[in-house]
Amino acid sequence: MKKNSVPSYENEVPFYNTDDEENYFPGYIVVLPDVPIAEQRNEDHISTGDYVNVPEPEATLLDPCFGPPLELWLGFNRWLLWLPTRSGSSRRRAACRRRRRKRAEHTHRKPSAMEGSPTAPSKEAYRAAMVLSGAGDALGYRNQRWEYCTSGPQIHQELQEMGGLGKIQAALPDWPISDDTVLHLATAEALATGKDGVPLFQELAQCYVDAMTDMEGRKPGPTSILGTSQLRLGEPSGYLIPFNPKATGCGAAMRSMCIGLRYPRPSDLHLLIQVSIESGRMTHHHPTGYLGALASALFTAYAVQGLPLERWGVGLLKTLPLALEYVRAAAVESEANMGAWNYFPEKWEWYLSERGLANGQGPARFPPAYGPAGRDVIYKTFSLDGWAGGVATMPP
């Protein structure tokens, strides 16, 4: 493979060496006992911000129904203890767990060998990916105050007045997670069922509807609210909603990172495309919206593979034609989707050119002075309605 080329999707080296690939799966794929968060906290459900001293539950080996290296999401209650959630999250996760247990005996698929990077990521890395995602969300949300602040300098000034990042303890009541993490966990819970195809899409729809019952004190976007209200649970195609010309926001991208953890291998690319697009357009049925979900999932998979950051954008552009083929083949309001398709790739092509990354080589090129105020100016050039971050084309 050339040093700066985007990886091909065949002939990769497996993650693991084993003499019995048919029956092998990583030993760290475990499920921790189901103990609702509400039962593990104080009565007021306020997190201490520290999960190090929480007693370690006894792990139980899971049947090999998931492809490695995913640390199964069923153990999230242990690892996300410190996150500022509310008891509604526990009830929602409990409902998803009951559905999983009911169907688990019908799900037994042998995993294929891992491909991509020569070494598998550790389970600690997978834990960190999910936990830090929620932590970053809680910090950026700041109980609605910072998510809806359009001034980067003001946010940084307030942060300094608080003593800097090191002085913040992300705990309730001041630092709850937003709707983004609630829906991200819903995506993970659906993926943890081991389903694929239409059954997985139906499970995603169910988990998203369940998650919308846990939005007290959070601020779900109007597009997510509308989209979940249009899902028809129990119907064969009930996960499909109408095309929405205004569904260009980042709500689908915010909940899709774990799709890249579930499908990290180059050989999984077709599944990553399928699941990210279908999950994304359950609320954001517009290419700008659901291609943001694809980008989030794909970049997470690149991180698992250890792909240099400078090559991620070019990799996305090379993946978009495959995504276009999938959308055409799915034949769901094709004309409307094709008519709105070009904005997303064109903005990414422009951004990569601006940063000197159009050929997948670095280092990235930034202005000499690039502080919070300068970033606000740049972000607004590829945002809608002048709100930096309010559109799914937002590059990392």
* Binding positions for Mg(2+): 178-180
Q: For residue 185, which of 216, 214, 221, 143 has the smallest C-alpha distance?
A: 214
DSSP code at position 69: T
Q: What is the DSSP string of 136-202?
A: HHHHHHTTTTTTT---HHHHHHHHHHTT-GGG----TTT----HHHHHHHHHHHHHTT---HHHHHH
Separation in Å, CA 203 to CA 96, 268, 326:
9, 20, 21
Residue 36 CB burial class (10 angstroms; 0-12, 13-18, ≥19): middle
Backbone phi and psi for residue 31, each to the nearest 5 degrees, phi listed first: -120, 130
- Reading the block at residue 320, the tokens are 């978009």
Q: Write out the H or E segment, with its range, that includes residue 180.
A: helix 179-191
**Cα distance between residue 318 and residue 266, in whole Å:** 13
Q: Write out the H or E segment, with its range, that includes residue 354.
A: helix 343-354
Beta bridge partners of 115: 14
Which residues line the annotated binding site?
178-180
Q: What is the DSSP string of 32-59?
A: -----HHHHS-TT----S--TTSPPPPP
Contacts of 48 (CB under 8 A, 6+ apart): 82, 171
Q: Write out the H or E segment, with its range, that includes residue 188.
A: helix 179-191
Q: For residue 127, which of 52, 33, 66, 183 has the smallest C-alpha distance?
A: 52
**Do the strands 13-14 and 30-31 form a parallel or antiparallel pair, or are they unpaired?**
unpaired
**Do the strands 115-116 and 13-14 form a parallel or antiparallel pair, or are they unpaired?**
antiparallel
Q: Write out the H or E segment, with its range, that includes residue 79.
A: helix 76-79
